[in-house]
Amino acid sequence: MEFILNSNKVYEKSLIETEKHSPSIIIHYIHSLYARYFNNIYKYIGHLFQNRFDDKIIKDWKHMMDTSRYIHLNPVKAGMVKNPEKYPWSSYKTFIANYEEPIINSNKIIENLCGGSKKTYKSYVELNLSKGSFYNKL
């Protein structure tokens, strides 16, 4: 799993691998729990999220890498930070440094696609940042 939470609205981008449950069930559960928590704390009633989430099936390894880069560069493209490392609500640190989060597993991408090198992944993600070129929308 990897994630990014944007501060301009309640918005998330996640890459989730599932074995037993569909992503719809997982996201519904996460959204329901958070909405109940938020509504309880701030004394609101009703829906917290406006629209249903959008999901896409990852077709191949290149699509997986491009999606991962897209997720991690999203706050840069939105103008929130100049470097994805600086955005605090992202899993990017677990992909590029010796930083662990219990729910984040970067092994599939780092081991299988980058030969075990977090430096290679960082280079791949940040390749065109200096040129102001990010990615095409997936």
**pLDDT 10s digits, 33-80:** 988 999 999 998 888 777 777 777 888 888 888 889 988 998 898 889
Residues 6+ apart with CB under 8 A from 97: 118
Joined tokens for residue 110: 């780092």
Rg of the chain on CA atoms, in Å:
16
> Residue 4: which pLDDT band, with cuts at 50, 70 and 90?
low
* pLDDT beyond 60 at 27: yes
| Average pLDDT along the chain | 81
Pairing of strands 2-6, 11-15: antiparallel
Cβ atoms 6, 20 nearer than 8 A: no
> Residue 11: which pLDDT band, with cuts at 50, 70 and 90?
very low
Q: What mean pLDDT do residues 120-138 have?
A: 76
d(CA 65, CA 45): 39
Cβ atoms 69, 115 nearer than 8 A: no
Q: Which helix (H) or strand (E) holds 108?
A: helix 107-113
Q: What mean pLDDT do residues 82-96 have?
A: 92
Alpha carbon separation from 71 to 3, 50, 135 (Å, rounded): 7, 21, 10
